[in-house]
Amino acid sequence: MPEFPDVTIYVESLSSRIVGRELKNIRLTSPFVLRSTSPPLTSIEGSIITGIRRIGKQIVWEFGDDVFLVFHLMIAGRFHWKKAGAKASGKIGLAAFDFDEGTLLFTEASSKKRASMHAVKGAAELVHFNKGGLEVFESPLEDFRSVLRSENHTLKRSLTDPRLFSAIGNAYSDEILHHAQLSPLQLTQKLDDAEVHRLFDSTRRVLSDWTDRLRKETGTNFPEKVTAFHDAMAVHGKFGKPCPVCGTQVQRIVYAENECNYCPKCQTGGRILADRSLSRLLKDDWPKTIDEL
């Protein structure tokens, strides 16, 4: 799922292309993507886009008369900037937005159809899309500490909870925790002040560095290859590969549709964290340390 760096680049790229432009036409190719119709899409056609911003991981297009389009890309939703009049992208096409300067395609490479678009009227309606998570670049350390310790969960769970922290997901939480040298299973209320400060600094540093990196990679082009996996990442998606800091094999915890990647030497004092499924299967044969592994 696109997170803070990816969504920020989308907002910047879209802003440079369509803010101040007239949205000529909306071609809806999948009826399931539209989750609210007040106002109807036909009333938005011919309107000028006055601004684009982010609410958590969602992207908001602003129009006059207090009208908004809210996009949630979920895991497989993506935008593609094409020549004016471009056709929708076959089975993965959700919608097409026509401008004089080009056509923006909204796609989803998944059969689950989780991506969504809401048409809403009134700024008060946007409150429903805000999960309330802390914006780490707009908040001091004291607020970060308060939110982190407000519930006693693992660091991995807390960082990815949109009610606690805004726009951080599975990929960048792995990178943040590796940078901070903290275990993903460390409980938030067990952190001392120094560890909280280190996590705060790492959260800002990782998100800032990756936003700058993606900004440079994109340049003046449109971000067509938005992904949660990058060669330059330290641990996310790097199971079995050497940690770039110490050379230890990156390990993982698999759960539901996600996995958590970490370095046992840098983050857990050499301990191999139990995988819910595989560790239960192996029982006493499950390696508990780097040496046993």
Domain boundaries, the chain: 4-129, 141-285
> pTM of the full predicted structure?
0.93
Taking the C-alpha atoms of residue 65 and residue 254, their distance in angstroms, rounded to an integer, is: 47
Contact between residue 110 and residue 76 where contact means Cβ atoms under 8 Å apart: yes
Domain boundaries 4-129, corresponding CATH code = 3.20.190.10
Q: Which two tokens stand for residue 84?
A: 């004016």
Which of the four CATH numbers 1.20.1740.10, 2.40.50.420, 1.10.8.50, 1.10.3720.10 does domain 141-285 have?
Answer: 1.10.8.50
Q: What is the pLDDT of residue 23?
A: 98
Query: One digit per residue, pLDDT tens: the chain, 293 residues?
Result: 899 999 999 999 999 999 999 999 999 999 889 999 889 999 999 999 999 999 999 999 999 999 999 999 999 999 999 999 999 878 899 999 999 999 999 999 988 889 999 999 999 999 999 999 999 999 999 999 999 999 999 999 999 999 999 999 999 999 999 999 999 999 999 999 999 999 999 999 999 999 999 999 999 999 999 999 999 999 999 999 999 999 999 999 987 678 899 999 999 999 998 865 544 544 455 456 666 65
